[in-house]
Amino acid sequence: MNNQAIIDQLNLLLADYQIYYQNLRGFHWNIQGKHFFELHAKFEELYTDSAEKIDEIAERILTIEGVPLHSYADYIDTANIAAKKNVHDGEKAVGAIIENLTAVLELERKIKEMAAEVNDNATEDLMSGFIDEQEKTMWMMKAWMK
């Protein structure tokens, strides 16, 4: 395995994150109902965190001599995550976050394994940090849904 295989997977992750980020922005802007205040703030926290992760992924791609995707057309064509539109309901938004994070976590675990195989410790560490945070977010989202 070479850097290109990891770069390709990191670009897929970058595309997924861009769609996830935009989904979170939409949830933040459009949320309604009795959970408005708590979810509006939580969605902002999540999209702010996602914006930081997007930058870290792109910088990692550059560090290993790749070119990060950088157009929305590329993100839409590449991403496994679907864009969500007009979600106003808290349970539907949180359900979509769980769905999105499930896909992201699966890809991060794959990238972590690939990086370990080629002794790319920095990519492996990056994915480990993301996985730790997102597993906690998943637990919280699932607990909220109960």
| d(C-alpha 47, C-alpha 137), whole Å | 12
pLDDT value of residue 20: 98
**What is the secondary structure of 78-126 as a DSSP string?**
H-SSPP--S---HHHHHHHHHHHHHHHHHHHHHHHHHHHHTT-HHHHHH
Mind listing the pLDDT tens digit for each residue in 13-72?
Answer: 999 999 999 999 999 999 999 999 999 999 999 999 999 999 999 999 999 999 999 999
Enumerate domains of the chain plus CATH numbers.
Answer: 3-145 (1.20.1260.10)
Band (2; pLDDT cuts 50, 70, 90): confident
Cβ neighbors of 32 (< 8 A, separation 6 or more) are 88, 89
pLDDT value of residue 97: 98
pLDDT value of residue 44: 98
Band (1; pLDDT cuts 50, 70, 90): low
- Whether 66 contacts 4, CB under 8 Å: yes
Mind listing the pLDDT tens digit for each residue in 75-117?
Answer: 999 999 999 999 999 999 999 999 999 999 999 999 999 999 9
**What is the secondary structure of 40-54 as a DSSP string?**
HHHHHHHHHHHHHHH
